[in-house]
Amino acid sequence: MNLEELRKLKEKAQADLKVRAESAKIKIIVGMGTCGIAAGARPVMQAFLEEVERRNLKDVLITQSGCKGICAMEPVVDVEIEGEKSITYGYMTPEKAKKVIAEHIVNGTPVSEYIVSTQG
């Protein structure tokens, strides 16, 4: 491990510390139960991470949850935006993840054809 590089990164990261974690207004939660993992949740989460990074989106937290019982629709992803209804996407793929970022997260329009349920 190149720890020297990590030290430099830390200084850089400290500069824009206002972001993330508790302050995140948008949460993307990828189902990582056995069902989710088997259906391809890991590359879906990877795609979300890459896309958020590429677009340098602040205030987006990507995390994971266990199986929520709709295994047949895995990979399942929940998008929670402060003050809005939580939306569940099903049958996700890395390509669909990119579209969700572009249309839902950036432009504010949920991708209706991927939605399997809406709560709240």
Partner 1 sequence: MEELSLHILDIAENSIKANASFVTIEIIEDIDTDKMEIEITDNGFGMSDKMIEKALSPFFSTRTTRKIGLGLPLFKDTVEACEGSIKLTSEINRGTKVYASLRHSHIDRPPLGEIADTILMLVISYPDRDFLYRHKKGNREFTFDTREIKEILGTEVSINHPEVRSWLLETLKSGEKELN
Whole-number minimum distance, CB 81 to partner 1, in Å?
19
Instruction: Report the residue number, 35 or 87, with the smaller CB distance to partner 1.
Output: 35
Return the sign of the alpha-carbon dihedral for residues 64, 92, 28, 1: positive
CA 55/CA 65 separation, integer angstroms: 24
Q: Which structure tokens are listed for 10?
A: 């830390």
- Binding region for partner 1 (CB under 8 A): 1-3, 5-7, 9-10, 12-14, 17, 20-21, 32-35, 37-38, 42-43, 45-46, 49, 52-53, 62-64, 66-67
**Closest distance between partner 1 and the C-beta of residue 42, in Å?**
6
Q: How far is the CB of 76 from partner 1 (least distance, A)?
A: 15
What per-residue string of b and e applies to 52-70 under the rule 16 or more CB within 10 Å gives b?
Answer: beeeeeebbbbebeeebee
